[in-house]
A and B are shown apart, each in its own frame.
Chain A
Amino acid sequence: DVKVTQSSRYLVKRTGEKVFLECVQDMDHENMFWYRQDPGLGLRLIYFSYDVKMKEKGDIPEGYSVSREKKERFSLILESASTNQTSMYLCASTPPGPSGGAGELFFGEGSRLTVL
């Protein structure tokens, strides 16, 4: 069975702390993504990576950075957490899609972050 694993299901952090959210996939997928999900706003893309050490900004990259040192691991970093980053964070991976478009995404179970 394919698997995307997010290291923490629930985290509570304080304002100003540095936060690492880790994501590992075992499917040898090239593409990995970080989304955040908020009520009424759906899923919004923060960053994605299409290869090791390659990254691109999504729609809401401010306040976040990412790291992809190995193909299977994609980390999301909050350099200085703020209360408005309280959210559900979802990691996903996919191989290159059909005919130049995105294919099926495989999601992790999510990391619910609360920043106090």
Chain B
Amino acid sequence: SQQGEEDPQALSIQEGENATMNCSYKTSINNLQWYRQNSGRGLVHLILIRSNEREKHSGRLRVTLDTSKKSSSLLITASRAADTASYFCATATYNTDKLIFGTGTRLQVFP
């Protein structure tokens, strides 16, 4: 069962531009998390936002959460070539330690 869907599936931008990725989900959540995956590697946790939070920042990352629309967005500001990776959202429901992942957005940042 796929809980989250990212949009767009792929995104290509120039260095210095901002990148925005969106995630939609289906059921009530406890928290939503974003992960990054470099090609052929494992996933790395970026940020966690709880259901009672609306916005969170971490360095060049900004995450928003709209529980009424069941959606979240990840903004990477002033992108760099090193940001090239796939980005996944993952949702956590209440009373479970499972995370359900979306299908990911492939971000390509050209120097």
Residues of A near any B CB (own CB < 8 A): 4, 31, 33, 35, 40-45, 48, 50, 58-59, 90, 92, 94, 96-110, 112
Check A50 against B97 for contact (C-beta < 8 Å). Answer: yes
Cβ-closest chain B residue relative to A48: B98
How many residues of B are counted as interface, with CB atoms below 8 angstroms from the partner's CB atoms? 30
In the complex, chain B residues whose CB is within 8 Å of the CB of A41: 2, 103
Check B42 against A101 for contact (C-beta < 8 Å). Answer: no
Check B101 against A42 for contact (C-beta < 8 Å). Answer: yes
In the complex, chain A residues whose CB is within 8 Å of the CB of B41: 109-110
Check A103 against B103 for contact (C-beta < 8 Å). Answer: no
Check A102 against B97 for contact (C-beta < 8 Å). Answer: yes
Q: A42-B104, A99-B50, A110-B40 are in contact. Are A104 and B45 (CB under 8 A)?
A: yes
Most A CB contacts (10 A, CB to CB) among B1, B42, B88, B103 go to: B42
Is residue B96 within 8 Å, beta carbon to beta carbon, of the partner chain? yes
Can you spell out 14 A-B residue pairs with CB atoms less than 8 angstroms apart? A4-B42, A31-B97, A33-B99, A35-B101, A43-B88, A58-B98, A94-B97, A104-B33, A104-B48, A105-B43, A107-B44, A109-B41, A110-B41, A112-B40
Check B96 against A107 for contact (C-beta < 8 Å). Answer: no
In the complex, chain A residues whose CB is within 8 Å of the CB of B88: 42-43
Task: Tally the A-B contacts, defined by beta carbons under 8 Å.
Answer: 84
Contact pick for B2, options A42, A104, A112, CB 8 Å? A42
In the complex, chain A residues whose CB is within 8 Å of the CB of B21: none
Closest 4 CB pairs of A and B: A101-B30, A107-B42, A102-B92, A101-B92
Shortest Cβ distance from A111 into chain B, in angstroms?
10
Shortest Cβ distance from A22 into chain B, in angstroms?
15
Is residue B75 within 8 Å, beta carbon to beta carbon, of the partner chain? no
Q: A105-B33, A105-B90, A107-B43 provided; 20 other pairs, C-beta below 8 A?
A: A31-B97, A33-B98, A43-B43, A43-B88, A44-B101, A45-B99, A48-B97, A48-B98, A96-B97, A98-B50, A101-B30, A101-B31, A101-B95, A102-B33, A102-B92, A102-B97, A103-B97, A107-B42, A107-B44, A112-B40
Rounded to whole angstroms, the CA-CA distance of A33 and B99 in the bound complex is: 10
In the complex, chain A residues whose CB is within 8 Å of the CB of B40: 110, 112
